[in-house]
Amino acid sequence: MSSHLDVGAAYCRKRRRGGERVFKFRSFGENGCPVEFDGSFRDNVKALLEYGHLESNLCNGMLSWSFQLEVHRHPPLHILLFVVEEPIEASISLYCKHCQYVGWGCHMICNKKYHFLLPSKDAVAACFSCGESNLDDPNPEKGKFNLVELQGHIMHGVFHSNGFGHLLCVNGVEMGSDLAGYQIMDFWDRLCTGLQARKVSLNDTSTKRGMELRLLHGVAYGEPWFGRWGYKFGRGCYGVNEPIYQKAIEAIQGMPLCLLNHHLSISYNDISVIFSRYQALADHSMVTLGDLFDFMLELRSRLPKENSFDSCNPAILVETSCRWSPKRVEAATRVIVEALKRAEFRWVSRQEVRDAARAYIGDTGLLDFVLKSLGNHIVGNYLVRRCLNPVTKVLEYCLEDISTVFPNPETLLLSNSKVIPSCKITKAQLMKDISFLFKHILKEQKPTLSTGIFSAIPMAARIILDTKFLVKEYSEELSMKVKSSLNGKFKLFCAVILRNDEEIDEGLKKPMLPCECVTLQETATIKDLKLEVEKNFRQVYWRLRSFAVETIVNLNAKGSDLVLGSVEMGQKIVVVGSNDDQTGMIMNEVMMCEWGLNSRIVECPCGAKEDDGERLILCDICEVWQHTRCVRIPNNEEIPHVFLCKQCEEKIMFLPSLP
């Protein structure tokens, strides 16, 4: 066991001796563990932190709390969850680049962020060292430890105080964690659901053995790995939108295996072997590339880590009610296989096979039964493949010698009533095959795949790889309905329009902020409602610290009238207010939204109109930004000191020459 883990274990033991409560990792974040989550996001975070252990010296003066989580008892494994409250005054950057890249740059800057961290072993060791340090130590550097700024955490997620968040990193077993990636994601998903987060984004750059999972799982399942937890297309880079992304998924999934095999087997003999190997293991016909990757990934999830997998696929199962005896079925099977042998491993139509077999078997019903049952199963040392020709739409059959498919194939003989092949494959061999197909079909295509129907593969793969920003909507744009509660209280969801925003003044139709949950007593008046709305929006948004409600849209009521008597169930509540004091004026000047002072004008040939986080270059004449990739500047090359976009170059070429 590493010294880092020893230090972390010692830290947890010390904390437990102090009487700190230990929570179950597998249930933490569920309702009631440790608290009933029944309020707005902000209220839920506050309720959760009441159960945490207040820390010191961990985040450069910012408030932080820790929770001990028990992963399992035997063998004992405990981890620490840290929650750090980052006020806007302590932020290194006023603006959030993650909001900007995912398309939330128009959101107002919030007063606070909350970081949720499962630290790495190195970070736990650093926490322990920091906790042991003397507060009066003359060395000032010891007081500047900041857990948030460390890299390589098991998990790091951050929420703005309005409930919008970003999952910044997940590092599973391959990165030295004691937790698998899916365990970390289950934990994060429970937290987001329990806290009632609004929307959460992530930048999907996850890989396994050098394979980008968004491409691998996109081909197999039609969605990225994070799709298991409901994360979907959020925003594409290089001008990719959702319809383009979906078409790319469909195009690459639907590539016919028979055509790929025909074209690729010339360059890679292993391609045909791999296709046949997994067709032999499958109990159904695999027609497309999506079918193959789907089967291989599902098989991987069922295989033991080191052991082999035995697949028993009955080629012909003669039921007791079958009108042909096992002996007759066996004879017909041998005749059909011999007919296919004479075809010398080429594809032949069903009718051609049937006609050849009729010279020996007169019962056409028996032949039809055997032909139907034999498809994609093993007889003797051969795999009988059946496939619908994509051009002629006719069923075709072909034999493949499985001695080239499995390293040590067992001799397979016909028994009385059924043919049972036993094919073995290890998890290591499976991963090797997946990596081979990923590399030679999806990433490094031969020139044979650059023409015709196959030219769609590199294009579709590029589009899928350019779709990195995923989003999950945890609570819908809160339905703005009055919701009853216990203890004589009710909840109301309100949206705000700022009167002193010119773009909003014209019509006062569209609220510029997400709605907020307001909790009121059943006896609350309209005046109480206005005060509560002011308090909530002041707490959430930096610019609205002096926000004042003026009117409620489409509501004719006096300040002393009861809210429940004035507001109908399901009615949308929109308030109009202002923020006219000096603080608001200053904030107007430095910008109020997450995209900050970004005055970049993006007009790229790919269609992008906003900064998507990819490398950009500025035209020195028109001062318009474009992607370096789109203007053919490789990522490994430095940006040139002088750059002219194509339009400016053309204009210069047509300028009249000076005398």
Q: How far apart are CA 214 and CA 206, in angstroms?
A: 7
Best CA proximity match to 187, nearest among 67, 303, 18 = 67
pLDDT band at 446 (very low <50, low <70, confident <90, very high): low
pLDDT tens sequence across 74-119: 788 889 999 999 998 888 888 899 998 998 888 889 999 999 999 9
Q: Are 202 and 231 in contact (CB under 8 A)?
A: yes
pLDDT at residue 518, rounded to an integer: 82
Lowest mean pLDDT among 401-415, 494-508, 564-578, 608-622: 401-415
% residues pLDDT > 90 (the chain):
32
210 CB neighbour count, 10 Å cutoff: 9
Cα–Cα distance between 294 and 470 in angstroms, integer? 22
User: Structural domain boundaries of the chain?
Assistant: 3-204, 314-420, 483-589, 599-659
Confidence grade of residue 650 (pLDDT, cut at 50, 70, 90)? confident
Least confident among 153-157, 276-280, 394-398, 585-589 = 585-589
475 alpha-carbon distance from chain centroid: 18
- The top-scoring range by mean pLDDT among 191-205, 384-398, 550-564 is 191-205
DSSP-derived 3-state class of residue 326 = helix
Name the residue type at position 350: R
Amino acid identity of residue 615, one-letter, is R
pLDDT of residue 135: 41
| 641 pLDDT above the threshold of 60 | yes
CATH top class, domain 599-659: alpha beta
pTM of this prediction exceeds 0.85: no
Is the pLDDT at 210 greater than 60? The verdict is: yes
Pick the more confident residue, 315 or 332: 332
Q: How confident is the model at residue 445 (pLDDT cuts 50, 70, 90)?
A: low
DSSP 8-state code for residue 104: -
Look at residue 27 in the predicted model and tell me its pLDDT.
92
User: Across residues 29-37, what is the average pLDDT?
Assistant: 87
The owner of tokens 């006609």 is 355
How confident is the model over 565-581, as a mean pLDDT? Answer: 74
C-alpha triplet 99, 102, 106: angle, nearest 5°: 50
| Cα 376 off chain centre by | 35
Map residue 452 onto helix, strand or coil. Answer: helix
Q: For 611-632, what is each residue's pLDDT tens digit?
A: 898 999 999 999 999 999 999 9
Burial of 58 per CB tally in 10 Å (0-12, 13-18, 19+): buried
For residues 99 and 145, the answer to whether their CB atoms sit within 8 Å is: no
Q: Determine the distance from the C-alpha atom of residue 181 to the mean position of all C-alpha atoms in its chain, rounded to a whole number.
A: 12
What Å distances lie between residue 631 and 230, 443, 617, 627, CA to CA? 35, 22, 9, 7
Looking at residue 320, its pLDDT comes to 40
Q: What is the mean pLDDT of residues 556-561?
A: 84
Measured over the CA atoms of residue 123, residue 129, residue 132 and residue 135, the dihedral's sign is negative
β-sheet bridge partners, residue 115 = 84, 158
Q: Vertex 417, ends 411 and 420: CA angle to 5°?
A: 35
Does the structure show a pLDDT above 50 at 226?
Answer: yes
Give 404's DSSP letter.
G
Residue 200 in 3-state DSSP?
Answer: strand
Query: Token digits for 307?
Result: 């052991």
Residue range 531-548: mean pLDDT, rounded: 89
Q: Do 483-589 and 599-659 come out as alike in CATH topology?
A: no
- Burial state string for 315-347 with b = 16 or more CB within 10 A and e = fewer than 16: bbebeeeeebeeebbbbbbbbbbebbeeeeeeb
Helix (H) or strand (E) holding 116: strand 112-118
What fold characterizes domain 483-589? Ubiquitin-like (UB roll) (3.10.20)
Averaged pLDDT of the chain: 80
CA dist 544 and 546 (Å) reads 5
Instruction: Yes or no: say if 658 and 635 are a contact pair by the CB < 8 Å rule.
Output: no
* Listed residue (636, 637, 611, 268) closest to 438, CA to CA: 268
* Range with the largest mean pLDDT of 252-256, 410-414, 594-598: 252-256
- Looking at residue 6, what is its pLDDT? 47
* Top-tier CATH class for 314-420: mainly alpha
> What is the reported pLDDT for 87?
93
